[in-house]
A and B are shown apart, each in its own frame.
Chain A
Amino acid sequence: MLDWIDLHPYTLLIITFIILVSQEIIGFIGKNQLQEFVWLVYVKVGTQLSLSDSFKLYSTKVSEIQRLNKEKRLISAQDEYAKWTKLNRQVDKLTGEIAQLKDELSKNKSSINSLVNLFITLLTTVPLWFFRVWFRKSALFYLPPHYLPHTLEWILAIPFFPVGTIGLTVWIFAVKQVISSLVFLLTFPFEQPTSKPVKVEKVVEVKN
């Protein structure tokens, strides 16, 4: 059972590395941006495949209400009361419909957001935890014998790895360190210098 999970140490090494890098990239782009992007794609593709016409309906209704309001502003309410009131009725009706559509859309959006969240978690967090548990005793690679003092090797092998090996825990830690240092090195030249705070001189009022 579960033989297929018996990965080669190097495969594990590389998969972990890729996952960590993608984690970092997602963090760099930002979850919200991703959700926004997926939402836009959904709206575009969904409208084209006519999965959700509510968005199209929404935009036509909004433009309709703008047109009506414009028309309403052009006529005098007192001189053309009947026409104005009829426009008003239409506007009221449309406003109600738009509110309903908005509700529907925001519900849609939140469900898509949670879907994106789930996807990200499944892709980046869950496999790492799984690996950490499943391969808690498998060595990724070996240190040369007596390369480090025994105490240090023992510490590196915490919690369950054989002494003298590098396990997943240390590997993840190291990769994270390297990536964050790299990111720092790459981004730091482009950082905007923060302006020096100017000390505000206290104005002492002289009483006459």
Chain B
Amino acid sequence: MVPLNWYIILSAVMFSIGMFGFLSRRNLVIMFICLELMLNAVNVSLVAFSHYLQSINGQILVFFVITVAAAEAAIGLAIIIAYYKNNPTIKVDEINILKG
């Protein structure tokens, strides 16, 4: 029998790796992939909870997370393309138009 905690710790490890990637990579596309990784880490814990609590709600939530992830990927990548057209770079440390 595998304890629930193992799954949760696996999920935490994946989440932290994704977080590190998101915070430190320069490539905007890879940052997005890291974001997907973080979402998937959460999904793992949700499915595990669903299994161990014998409740279906966790799986439903995963379903919605996947929907949101799809929407977010579509919009995010469209933004990257739109930005790239004007300014051919996807290095985040060169994108600083937020600075007034």
Q: Do they bind each other? A: no
Interface residues of B, Cβ cutoff 8 Å to A:
none
